[in-house]
Structure 1
């Protein structure tokens, strides 16, 4: 049995059906099964990792996909999984650990990685770069204003498709030979933010205005429009400052492991074009 934590997250939503399609028995964790949209073939479990009886929660599972909100409890969760007899942990981390970033998000992942390595079971670490799905943050302003606002100096990025991350996780969870491996995962090319907007414009079928704004304006927008707390905005900009020098770096891991090129940003844009056309009437 493979137990997927973070089953309703960006990667988890793609991972659960991928594992099921590969013939695995899957248990999926969510806080609220009534609201979660999880593949009905999975055994859906409702629990809060903050308060759950962890050894009981892992009973019957032998492999675990590990991702939790905030990452601070992943050491305790990994140790509880070990006590319950789990034999393999696959931890979703971030490429910032590879590059030695010291922002709070990356530090939390690095500490969780170490805890997973020390917990006892075999482990595999996945370190993706920025997700293509992060561009859903543009939904509101594209729908309402036909405009994308980005902070000045936003770097080129080798964005990775979440289904490619899920495919690598599926491979690590269902086949041997990945124990003790750490995989950096990116897409196959780095695109500037302006290039990404052009790709999305082409997929939608209309020009989208591209606007760079100072960090102060970007901070105000995140707080006002998206309701981000100050600490989340601070964490975002700390992460962006540290990743700017290497966000363009392309790793060949996806192609090497899956035997085919990673999905492209134009692929993603075509898949999701309808979502960006909903409100705008031009």
Structure 2
């Protein structure tokens, strides 16, 4: 049985049905089953990882997909140890390309520490290190809805954004076959696009122009706090990560195509799939 942590997140929503489609038995974790909308074929369990009896929660799991809210190294280390005690034989950890590039921002450091804990826990392991997600562009919904515009910090770098379904497809391979034990994989899309190119691609899918606006970091910070409701520490963490990753975000890895035998999904694919999420409410 495969236990999926983070089952309701960006990757988990794609991973659970992908695993089920292979015929695997899946246990999916959520804090609120009533709101989770997890594939009905999965066994759904309710728990808070900070208070749960982890060995009991993981009992019967052969393989575990490790992804936790906030990417706490201590929490993921505790999960890895509990999974080992419960008899799990394979841990698949979702990390970040920042570890590959040696970044030292708080988010990347936590992932690096958790990676080490996974490696030392006992079961065999696979580490997945995706770059920035295409789904991060859902952050543009509010500004497009209200003003048909996208605001980005000045100097926002080109990025080889990766589709979450490609991450889920690689995770499915790692969790259902023995060919990827002890492997560490960097995962990106197949091309690096500037943010302006991304906005133009999305505008094409929407069938209307979308304004592209660069703004100073101070304005971007205020917007994130006001529009997204992010706490100050989250905004600080975001900008620390962006500063560290700026020189690397354009790097393209061939891992997705090599493992899946097909090109990675493109940002145009993503924009076409999600165009309905970006309405514009003209206020005339």
Q: TM-score, normalised by structure 2?
A: 0.98
1:233 matched residue in structure 2: 235
Q: How far apart are 1:176 and its partner, in Å?
A: 1.1
Check whether the contact 1:63–1:86 (CA below 8 A) recurs between aligned residues.
yes
Equivalences for residues 78-117 of structure 1 within 5 A: 78-117=80-119
- Provide the secondary structure at the position in 2 that maps to 1:156: coil
Check whether the contact 2:166–2:264 (CA below 8 A) recurs between aligned residues.
yes
Check whether the contact 2:131–2:187 (CA below 8 A) recurs between aligned residues.
yes
Equivalences for residues 188-199 of structure 1 within 5 A: 188-199=190-201
1:272 matched residue in structure 2: 274
2:22 matches 1:10: no
Equivalences for residues 1-282 of structure 1 within 5 A: 1-72=1-72, 73-277=75-279, 279-280=281-282
2-structure distance, mates of 1:281, 1:17: 40
- Provide the secondary structure at the position in 1 that maps to 2:128: strand
Check whether the contact 2:148–2:280 (CA below 8 A) recurs between aligned residues.
no
2-structure distance, mates of 1:22, 1:201: 36
Q: Structure 1 unaligned runs (5+)?
A: none
Segments ≥4 residues shifted beyond 6 Å: none
Q: How far apart are 1:239 and its partner, in Å?
A: 0.2
Q: TM-score, normalised by structure 1?
A: 0.99
Check whether the contact 2:161–2:188 (CA below 8 A) recurs between aligned residues.
yes
Q: How far apart are 1:144 and its partner, in Å?
A: 1.0
Per-residue deviation, residues 234-263 of structure 1 (Å, max 9, x unmatched):
000000000000100000000000000000
Aligned residue-pair number: 282
1-structure distance, mates of 2:5, 2:181: 19
Check whether the contact 2:146–2:280 (CA below 8 A) recurs between aligned residues.
no
Check whether the contact 2:147–2:280 (CA below 8 A) recurs between aligned residues.
no
- Provide the secondary structure at the position in 1 that maps to 2:70: coil
1-structure distance, mates of 2:280, 2:89: 46
Per-residue deviation, residues 45-75 of structure 1 (Å, max 9, x unmatched):
0000101011110111100000011222100
Check whether the contact 2:156–2:195 (CA below 8 A) recurs between aligned residues.
yes
Check whether the contact 2:144–2:280 (CA below 8 A) recurs between aligned residues.
no
Q: How far apart are 1:278 and its partner, in Å?
A: 5.7
1-structure distance, mates of 2:279, 2:147: 11
Q: How far apart are 1:187 and its partner, in Å?
A: 0.2
- Provide the secondary structure at the position in 2 that maps to 1:126: strand
2-structure distance, mates of 1:26, 1:225: 36
- Provide the secondary structure at the position in 1 that maps to 2:104: coil
